[in-house]
Copies of this chain bind each other. A is one copy, B any other.
């Protein structure tokens, strides 16, 4: 995907006040399209959503989407690259903050002795990821269901970002499991993603027999399970 020229006003501005003249209604539309895409793709899969559906869900109809994206695939690309960046950024932020707190508290005391604080980093990572998964289950679902529908470029971009995110986790795990290969640490991290990302499945549908588990409770439960899985001694 080439690039949308988009005069100035590059990618930033999470706060979207009177920033560009007034044709930032465009940014709003674009975001509406991405939001609609998250919901529709999650519910029906990338291939199961037509551009007409997608446009309709965002209030415009049909090929208006081409004013914002190069094509259907580009919508998916923007969505998934966005999530991956958001996850990585969050992971780095959380890991840095806790790492820094650690360095402040107990300067350096030998390279391997900071398992205690790797624990703190892990707890923070788990809390972050659980919050993310519980607040945006649709995006989580799309990310590992429709990954293969991405263009080759977007696919490798997403893969790269995901890899870095996994490495943040693997880094935090390294102190806890010395002598374990990096590959195995990554498998461990990804298994925990699977655990946490199970929420779109389990919390999604109305269960028949029993009640639903409230989100706050699910957060605690998943965090506890994730930490247990992360800290379980290597076999």
Contacts and interface: CB of A to CB of B under 8 A. Distances in A.
Contact of A235 (B181, B190, B209, B221): B221
A235 B220 CA distance: 6
Contacts of A224: 232-235
Nearest to A195: B195
A30 interface: no
- Judged by DSSP, the binding face of A is helix
Contact of A195 (B146, B208, B229, B234): B229
Contacts of A207: 183, 186
A227 B232 contact: yes
Contacts of A231: 228
A197 to B, nearest CB: 6
16 contacts: A144-B201, A145-B145, A181-B211, A183-B210, A186-B210, A187-B202, A187-B203, A187-B218, A191-B202, A191-B222, A195-B229, A221-B234, A221-B235, A224-B234, A225-B232, A229-B229
A211 B184 CA distance: 9
Interface of A: 43-45, 47-48, 144-146, 148-149, 163, 181-184, 186-188, 190-198, 201-203, 207-213, 217-218, 220-235
Given A181-B210, A190-B201, A195-B194, A229 B225 contact: yes
A184 B229 contact: no
Contact of A182 (B181, B210, B221): B210
Contacts of A233: 224
Contacts of A232: 224-225, 227-228
